[in-house]
Amino acid sequence: MDSTPQGAALTARRLGVRGPRGWAFQDVDVTAGPGALVAAEGPSGSGRTSLLLALTGRMRATAGRAEVGGLPLPRAMAAVRRITAPAHVPGVTELEGALSVAEHLRERALIQRRFTGGPRALLRPRTERRAADAVRAEAALAAVGLDVGALPKGPRTLARDLGRLPSLRLSLALALLGAPRLVAVDDVDLGLTEAERPCAWGLLRSVAEGGTTVLAACAEAPRDAVVVSLGPRPNKDLRPDEEVTADALPEAGRA
Asked if residue 18 has pLDDT above 60, the reply is yes
Q: For helices 126-144 and 196-209, what crossing angle results, to 10°?
A: 120
What is the model's pLDDT at position 158?
97
Q: What are the pLDDT digits (tens) for 137-162? A: 999 999 999 999 999 999 999 999 99
CA-wise closest residue to 189 among 41, 84, 87: 41
Number of H helices, E strands in the chain: 7, 9
Q: In this predicted model, what pLDDT tens digit does every residue of 34-61 receive, in sequence order?
A: 999 999 999 988 999 999 999 999 999 9
Question: With pLDDT > 70 as the criterion, what percentage of the chain qualifies?
Answer: 83
Q: ω into residue 5 within 30 of 0, thus cis?
A: no
- Higher-pLDDT residue of 213, 191: 213
Digit-coded pLDDT (tens) for 62-106: 999 999 999 999 999 999 999 999 998 877 888 999 999 999 999
Rounded Cα distance, 255 and 248, in Å: 15
3-state secondary structure 123-190: HCCHHHHHHHHHHHHHHHHHHHCCCHHHCCCHHHCEHHHCCHHHHHHHHHHHHHCCCCCEEEECCCCC
Nearest Cα to Cα of residue 251 among 132, 76, 28: 76
Considering only CA atoms, which of 161, 182, 180 is closest in space to residue 95?
A: 161
Is the distance from CB of 105 to CB of 174 less than 8 angstroms?
Answer: yes
Diameter of the chain by CA atoms?
57
Is the CB of residue 15 less than 8 Å from the CB of residue 66?
Answer: yes
pLDDT of residue 243: 43
- Whether the predicted pLDDT of 167 surpasses 90: yes
> What domains, with CATH codes, occur in the chain?
10-239 (3.40.50.300)
* 8 Å CB contact between 174 and 107: no
240 has a pLDDT exceeding 50: no
Check residue 45 and give its pLDDT.
Answer: 87
Q: Which of 186, 188, 253, 212 minimizes the C-alpha distance to 83?
A: 212
242: pLDDT strictly greater than 60: no
The predicted model scores a pTM of: 0.85
The helix (run of H) or strand (run of E) holding residue 31 is: strand 22-32
